[in-house]
Amino acid sequence: MSRVVHYLNQFFAGLGGENAASTPPGVKPGPVGPGRKLQELLGTDHEIVATVYCGDDLAAASPEAMAAVLELVMQARPDIVLAGPASTSGRYGVACARVAAGAARAGIAAVASMHPENPGLDDAGAAVVIASGASVREMGASLERLAAAARKRLAGEAVTEADGRIGKVPRKNVLVDRNAASRAVDLLLARLQGKDAPAEVPIPHFDHVTPAPPVPDPAKATIALVTESGLVPVGNPGRLESARATRWLRYPIEGKATAAAGEYASVHGGYSTVWANQDPNRLLPLDVARELEREGAIGVLHGEYLVTTGNGTTVPNARRFGVEWAAELRRAGITAAILTAT
C-alpha cells in the first residue's frame, strides 16, 4: 500500500472561494473534494492518507506559506505527492507546481496536474506535470490522467507525452548507432521533403518582448493607466467577463480625481474583490496619478483607462489584447502605460 498526499487549494478543500484565499496552510485526513474521485481512480493499492491545502493568495505569494505546506506534506510521510488539477487557475497552478517541485527536491515522487497554458507550469522543477483540462468541467478526465500517471510513477515506469506529460522533461542518456551529424542531416533532409520530423530535444519557446525605449521625460509625456483587474463602472455597462475574457473595454477618467468606491467595482472572478471595491484606487492608482499630474511629474494623464479581466484568459486572446492596446495607445499619442496586474 503506498501513501499518497494530495494538495488542493481552499476552494477544492471546501473552505470557501475567494473570501478564503488567505486561508493558512492546513491538513485534513484522507481524501477531500476531487480527492475522493481521485482515490477511486487510484484503486485500493494506493491510499490518500492526507489532503494538504492552502489559500491561493498565500500559496502563490508567500514563500513562508509554501514552506509550511511542504512541511505538512512531509509530516504525512508520502510515497507520492499529487497536486491539483489546477486547470488554468494561475495562483493555484503556481502552488501545485511548487508543492510538486518541493517534494521532488526532497526525493519524493510528485505529479502535478494543470492546463498547458497555466503560468505555474515552469515552476514544477523535476516533478512530473500532467495536462488537465482548461476548466473544472473537464475534472473527470483530468483526474483520470493524473491517477494513471501516479500509478505509472509509483510503478517506476516512465511518464511520457503519451500520458499527457507537459513541461520540462529531464534528459536521459541513451546509446544510438549513428552520430549526431548524420542524424542532423537526416532531420534536415526530412524537413526539406516537407515531412513533419520532430527534433530530438524539445525546443524551448521563449516569449521575447523587445523593450520599448525609455520615455525621456515623464513630466512631458502622456501616460495611460491600463489594467487586467476587471475594474469597471458599477453595474458593468460593457458586460466585461469575470473569467476567460474575450475582449477589453475603455472608460473615461478625464477630470476624475479618484477611482471612488461605489463608482467602480471589479468583476474579476479570480481573486477576492473586497479590498478593491472598498477603494478602487487599489487596482487603478488614479488618485495618486492625478496628484502627480497636478504636481507636474506626469505630463498628461490619458483621458481613459483600458481594462480586461486576466483570469483564465487564453494566451492567444491575451496576446491580441496586448497588440490592440499598443495600437490604440499609439494612435492616441501615448508614450507610456502603467499596467496594474492582479
Partner 1 sequence: MLCNLVSIAERVGAVRIVATRGIPYPTGDPSLPPAEERAWRRALVERALKAIATAVTGPTQF
Query: In the complex, which residues of this chain contact partner 1 (CB under 8 A)?
Result: 18, 21, 57, 60-61, 90-91, 94, 119, 122-123, 206-209, 211-218, 221, 223, 229, 271-276, 278-279, 281-285, 287-289, 291-292, 297-298, 336, 338-342
Minimum gap (Å) between residue 249 Cβ and partner 1: 19
Q: CB 112 → partner 1: shortest distance, Å?
A: 16
Measured from the CB of residue 287, what is the shortest distance to partner 1 in angstroms? 7
| CA dist., res. 192 & res. 43, Å (int) | 49
Burial of 124 (0-12, 13-18, 19+ CB in 10 A): buried
| Pick 39 or 273: Cβ nearer partner 1 | 273
Cβ at position 21, least distance to partner 1 in Å = 8
Closer to partner 1 by Cβ: residue 19 or 160: 19
Instruction: Report the residue number, 80 or 265, with the smaller CB distance to partner 1.
Output: 265
290 CB neighbour count, 10 Å cutoff: 19
Among residues 77 and 294, whose Cβ is nearest to partner 1? 294
Instruction: Give the nearer residue to partner 1 in terms of CB position, either 154 or 215.
Output: 215
Report in angstroms how near the CB of residue 325 gets to partner 1 at its nearest: 12
The Cα–Cα gap between 233 and 252 comes to 10
Q: Which residue has the cell 515522487?
A: 109
- Residues 6 or more apart whose CB falls under 8 angstroms from that of 129 comprise 97, 100, 111, 112, 113, 114, 121, 165, 166, 167
**For the chain, how big is the Rg over CA atoms in Å?**
24
Give the Å distances, CA to CA, from 166 to 34, 143, 150, 249, 311.
Answer: 21, 15, 14, 34, 21
We find the least distance from the C-beta atom of residue 18 to partner 1, in angstroms, to be: 8
Smallest separation, CB 274 to partner 1 (Å): 8
Beta carbon nearer to partner 1, 119 or 303: 119
Nearer to partner 1, 49 or 271 (CB): 271
